[in-house]
Structure 1
Amino acid sequence: MAGTKRLFLGRALRSDDLGETLLPKRIALPVFASDPLSSVAYAPGEVLLILSLAGLSAYHNSVWITLAVIVLMVTVVASYRQTVHAYPNGGGAYAVVSANFGRRAGITVGSALLVDYVLTVAVSVSSGIDNLGSAVGFVRGNEVACALVVILLLMLMNMRGVRESGKLFAVPTYAFVVCVLATVLWGAFRGLALGDTMRAPSADFEIVAEQTGLGAAATAFLLLRAFSSGCAALTGVEAISNGVPAFRPPKSRNAAATLAIMGLLASAMFLGIMTLALTSDVHVAEHPAKDLLIDGKPAGAGYQQDPVIAQVGAAVLGNGSFAFIVLAAATALVLFLAANTAYNGFPVLGSILAQDRYLPRQLHTRGDRLAFSNGIVFLTVLAGLLIVAFRANVNQLIQLYIIGVFVSFTFSQSGMVRHWNRLLAEGPDGADRRRMLRARALNGFGAGLCFVVLLIVLVTKFAEGAWVSVVGMATFYALMTRIRRHYDEVADELSVDDTDEHRLDVRASQVHAVVLVSHVHKPTLRALSYAKLLRADSLVALTVAVDPDASAQLKKEWRQRHIDVPLKVLDAPYREITHPVIAYVKQLRKKHPDDVVSVIIPEYVVGHWWETVLHNQSALRLKGRLHLAAGVTVTSVPWQLDSAEAARVRAKRRARLRAQLRAPGAVRRGAAPPRRRP
């Protein structure tokens, strides 16, 4: 089992190796920015899909929507650059809002971000499957199974650690950026310099408008809805501010530089793809089977509508060409890896929330590879459930998207305004004051703009499915509030004050020891010997007569060996062990309410995982029930089987080998021997 784990995850890392996992900017960009960079694969299509409801005549509005999305992108990126400098310890929006607006607002933002990260995985993987299906026929019809396989692979890669997963993801992410920019530049060259006419595969299709004769209000609502869909391009921008501690020093400066690079690349690619989509006459519809007309007839259920970026690639590079296949492959890969932004943001945020006692403490623990393994597994499970529930349908999942993003954006930028107000109240002068005033103005503008977008998203997407995100946020909020209340109650209950005795509780007058036995063998004799060492006021061996013949044989052997501990046999008419033992212990407690009952259970220590299924199951059930009984202590007396001893020897040998490999001058397995000096 341990060997299999090492095969998939690699060797365990020491805590003092954490510095080796910090990321340079070239690796941090694909790790934290793959989501906003990859959004150009589906965000342009979402804009055109909504506009198609009013027919081809509405497509000219996509120019203004594209420019509005880019202005918003630049504003949010610039605002978050202020955040990473002001809060370099990570946590992003959650840290900003908690520090400036208090606990409740912080939990609200935390719940919004958690929902957004789960949706990022579901949407990115589903979109990647959708793009892959345009080139690989097998994927069509098996979208859910393929998506689940992809997120399991992402989980395994991220369990290997942030730095190692970043190296794995860097090549596909940079390949996608190069492919998209090369497509945009080549399309611009063909159109401007060569005068070529580029035609998308759907250029000759007609669109049947679902909404005709729209009034001013309906048109405005349609444009706002298209804009809100295009804002999917901003998802993942906040991940860098959450992950500042993962950067190499100087952390804040490197994080801010990575944010700027990400914003520049994402804006350029989004603008380029939208321009080429309009130039090449890409036509898409929300319901292509009936709303797209091919030679005057509906496309029908058999028609598979390719994503906008695939149609742009076919128009510019040639449908089926080698360059087109490379673009399609890079797009599918980066969409799968876009989920990696969430795989790095969700566990870090979960760790911070767990440290603040809003989530289970297990999420704060790093695994063997210094990654937050429990958070990675938790994210995988939640995203998998969403993919199954929505059948990996991008058009349905995308409606759930964005709300959580803009909740965090709005609160975060508002929190930064309060942050600057507090610093300005301290009376700085000169260059510092001017810098703070500029920063406050930028964050204030960003907060206002993000709030407007949030209102637009709520109004235009709520009925389309965004209410599911709101319910998810409310669920996370209630869950985190209840977890924090539980931890606070436990802390209050266990805390020691001046009225408590600062010593062991000695109020009990007597101790009654009960040793559970099933056979006369070595573990039983060891448990009895241990019980005698306790010098309890009373000692009894207890067995349950599930099998009358076996019980009779036990009593006979007990007498033959002259064991000087009384043996009590409990009847078990229903052949069950737990209830008779519990009833006996409760009866003993009722008879001696001020005394302590110590139940001693002999247990096997095994060396293989499968052996745990064969042993100790009754003991586990008993311990689980006895732990709930007041005034009862439970003690396990272990007996190591030969397999456990062999496992211990193997572990000791591996530890010795690892120590030798870590020693100065040691040659690692597979490494070239050191050269000798001539």
Structure 2
Amino acid sequence: MRSDSMGRQLLPKRIALPIFASDALSSVAYAPDEILLTLALAGSLAALNSVWVGVAVAAVLAVVVISYRQTVHAYPSGGGDYEVVSTNLGKTWGLVVASALLVDYILTVAVSVSSGAAYITTALPSLAGHEAIIAVTLIVILATLNLRGTREAGGAFAIPTYLYMGAIALMVVVGVIEWVTGNLGAAPTAHYDLVATGGHEEGLVGLAGAFLLMRAFSSGCAALTGVEAISNGVPMLRRPKSRNAATTLALLGTIAATMMLSVLVLARQTGVKIVENPASQLTLNGQPAPADLQIAPAISQIASAVFGAGSVFFFIITAVTGLILVLAANTAFNGFPTLASVLSRDAFLPRQMYRRGDRLSYSNGIIVLSAAAIVLVLGFNAQVSRLIQLYVVGVFISFTLSQLGMIRHWNRILRTRQSGEQRGRVLRSRAVNVIGFMMTGLVLIIVFITKFAHGAWITLVMILVVFLIQQGIHRHYETIRSQLRVDDWTAKRTLPTRVRALILVSNFSRPSMRAVAVARASQPSAIELVSVVADETEERRIRSEWEESGIPIRLTLLSSPYRNVIQVILQYVRTRRKRSPSEMLVIYMPQFLVRHWWENALHNQMALRLRRALLGVPGVVITVVPWKLGEDAEVEGHQLVNDPFKRPTTIPSPSSDTLVGPETVEE
């Protein structure tokens, strides 16, 4: 796609919502499960508090959405939290936020596709045990679709996302009607009783109960992941970009909070129970539940209670829920490459991440994200309960620092002269961010306390590693920039006093003759042939060929009894450089090209290895002279090149030191 086609790739709100909101909307499929799973450790009475935990999560979500609506107006360039924090708190803290977001995006893909794989195996039990392979396959499919371009991917993902919202809305409406009329069925696990695990026999009473409640709250806060993606994707929306982004954020927050609370209410009314170990946590008529009891996700159990197990609507809801869990990863496929391009622009990631691919998508960012997510999926065997523990840390680090950055932003504006109405608006905006900072900071502390031992420390290590890598990349680019900068233009324009040409040859074949012709045509001050010999037989052969050719150029033979060709040439070149540091040294290397790629395996690739070694010698110019097999007429073409032995009158004679006999230099 042409670069000027970028305008046609901008997203309207109806496409931006499923692209950027799919992560937050999909959290409805697993955030309630994580709340119920955690509270189940304290028994049946504790599980009844799931709705109140959901209300607390919804309150945090509302504050975060409102604060990000302000962010997209204040910083619409697409840097999101990274730009907010870098501008107001400094580059180091901005890099911390960027590292946290990059890790969070990778975890988003891993968690989403793993959850989708779990739903697929629920609908198709024969695939149980192959969740990791299914998840990897889904990542490859998503990457391929996104490489086709943002608009194309958005069109492909919009319909399933809207089907998911419609299916959940239908289930909630029908479920509420059945509840009000007294016709609501029971979930498949409603007949089981929850048994409190060791240390939680007293329920939510005491310090252990409070800790468990905080842990359930921190798990439910996974519903907030993906909110920040819109602030990174503002440039991808149609104009007016900031207003469209703010509208999309409002829709996202309203839909996600409503769906999550509705699922928790219906889960309580239908008796849904989510446990990790059925044999020890569930009993039926006083007897432990079977160890192989399959515990379906909350939405599947609610759909079974509302529509009946095996009904058409049950399968539709299960299918679209599994699909949206997979498509939730698409939020990361838009957020990660965009953020990576901003970091690449600021020299914190490789330059390749900045440029768009053939389809105007950030192809390199998509590929890196896919590879990292596949490593996580395989490392954790696509187990959502293990991956989810790593999930919330990074996003709440970025939330908290972003709120603090916005407070600094408003404080700076308040120091300027403003009217009374403008000042009041800024004070209200700052109040929102102050509340947001306190709430997200509290959640971050709770996450650290409750999840550190359960795997959150792995996320912190990942963030630290990404942070150090970015700092190392930045130092590398700064070093390169300082060394490439020209301080004295006059000195850099000065031509060398002499140019010495070295032609590396192993024999006097056609490729070597072509290199001789090219070197002589460049008219150096001095020129010599250089060849490495391992024994007397090889020395006599090369001397004989040189004498037979009649080339009026001095031949230098380098003795290498240990057959170390590369080291011998490097030593000779370095010696030449030390002997005449003001002299330009140009090395001509004939390169033999085969007609088919597989024929390269039949040759030792010495020229390639030697060229790589010579690149490390400062002050040396390397000229590669290719000669392709079977294309003599096309390669040679002119009489000057065909006859390197005849000295053309237009080329002056080289210096006298090139017209002497052969010389052998011992290693």
Same fold (TM over 0.5): yes
Which piece of structure 1 moves more, 73-82 or 436-445?
436-445
Mapping 1:264-663, distance limit 5 Å: 264-294=254-284, 296-497=286-487, 499=488, 501=490, 503-506=492-495, 509-518=497-506, 520-545=508-533, 556-571=544-559, 577-603=565-591, 617-639=605-627
User: What do residues 99-142 of structure 1 show as CA deviations (whole Å, max 9, x unaligned)?
Assistant: 11111111111111111111111111111111111012343112
Which piece of structure 1 moves more, 184-193 or 70-79?
184-193
Mapping 1:207-222, distance limit 5 Å: 207-210=194-197, 211-213=200-202, 215-222=205-212
Unaligned runs of 5+ in 2: 635-667
Which piece of structure 1 moves more, 99-108 or 416-425?
416-425
Tell me the amino acid that sits aligned with residue 433 of structure 2.
Answer: N
User: Alignment identity in percent?
Assistant: 47
For 2:88 and 2:158, how far apart are their aligned partners in 1? 36
For 1:131 and 1:626, how far apart are their aligned partners in 2? 57
CA drift at 1:251? 0.7
Q: Does the aligned pair in 1 maintain the 2:113–2:329 contact within 8 Å?
A: yes
Change (3 A) 1:278 1:547: farther
Match of 2:637? Answer: none
Which piece of structure 1 moves more, 456-465 or 597-606?
597-606
Mapping 1:152-301, distance limit 5 Å: 152-193=140-181, 195-210=182-197, 211-213=200-202, 215-294=205-284, 296-301=286-291
- Please state whether the residue corresponding to 1:201 is helix, strand or coil: coil
Q: Does the aligned pair in 2 maintain the 1:224–1:460 contact within 8 Å?
A: yes
CA drift at 1:521? 4.6
Tell me the amino acid that sits aligned with residue 192 of structure 2.
Answer: F
CA drift at 1:65? 0.5
Change (3 A) 1:551 1:278: farther
Which piece of structure 1 moves more, 363-372 or 636-645?
636-645
Q: Does the aligned pair in 1 maintain the 2:135–2:382 contact within 8 Å?
A: yes
For 1:327 and 1:643, how far apart are their aligned partners in 2? 65
- Please state whether the residue corresponding to 1:365 is helix, strand or coil: coil
Match of 1:79? Answer: 67
User: What do residues 583-621 of structure 1 show as CA deviations (whole Å, max 9, x unaligned)?
Assistant: 332333344344332222233678877677777943332
Which piece of structure 1 moves more, 545-554 or 301-310?
545-554
- Please state whether the residue corresponding to 2:49 is helix, strand or coil: helix
Q: Does the aligned pair in 2 maintain the 1:605–1:644 contact within 8 Å?
A: no
For 1:295 and 1:545, how far apart are their aligned partners in 2? 90
Aligned residues: 631
- Please state whether the residue corresponding to 1:134 is helix, strand or coil: helix
For 1:25 and 1:641, how far apart are their aligned partners in 2? 58
For 1:15 and 1:444, how far apart are their aligned partners in 2? 42
- Please state whether the residue corresponding to 1:501 is helix, strand or coil: helix
CA drift at 1:27? 1.1
Match of 2:5? Answer: 17
Q: Does the aligned pair in 2 maintain the 1:284–1:292 contact within 8 Å?
A: no
Tell me the amino acid that sits aligned with residue 318 of structure 2.
Answer: A
TM-score calculated relative to the size of structure 2 = 0.89
- Please state whether the residue corresponding to 2:492 is helix, strand or coil: coil
Report which of the two structures shows the higher radius of gyration computed on alpha carbons: 2
Change (3 A) 1:260 1:548: farther
For 1:241 and 1:147, how far apart are their aligned partners in 2? 28
User: What do residues 516-555 of structure 1 show as CA deviations (whole Å, max 9, x unaligned)?
Assistant: 3345454433322221133223323334458998887666
TM-score calculated relative to the size of structure 1 = 0.88
For 1:267 and 1:60, how far apart are their aligned partners in 2? 19
Match of 2:655? Answer: none
CA drift at 1:633? 1.8
Match of 1:140? Answer: 128
Q: Does the aligned pair in 2 maintain the 1:607–1:645 contact within 8 Å?
A: no
Match of 1:668? Answer: none
Unaligned runs of 5+ in 1: 1-12, 647-678
Which piece of structure 1 moves more, 271-280 or 622-631?
622-631
Tell me the amino acid that sits aligned with residue 512 of structure 1.
Answer: R
For 1:172 and 1:552, how far apart are their aligned partners in 2? 77
User: What do residues 158-211 of structure 1 show as CA deviations (whole Å, max 9, x unaligned)?
Assistant: 111111111111121111111111111111122224x21311111112222112
User: What do residues 477-517 of structure 1 show as CA deviations (whole Å, max 9, x unaligned)?
Assistant: 222222222222222222233x56353354x5433322233
For 1:61 and 1:25, how far apart are their aligned partners in 2? 36
Q: Does the aligned pair in 2 maintain the 1:52–1:286 contact within 8 Å?
A: no
Change (3 A) 1:468 1:504: same
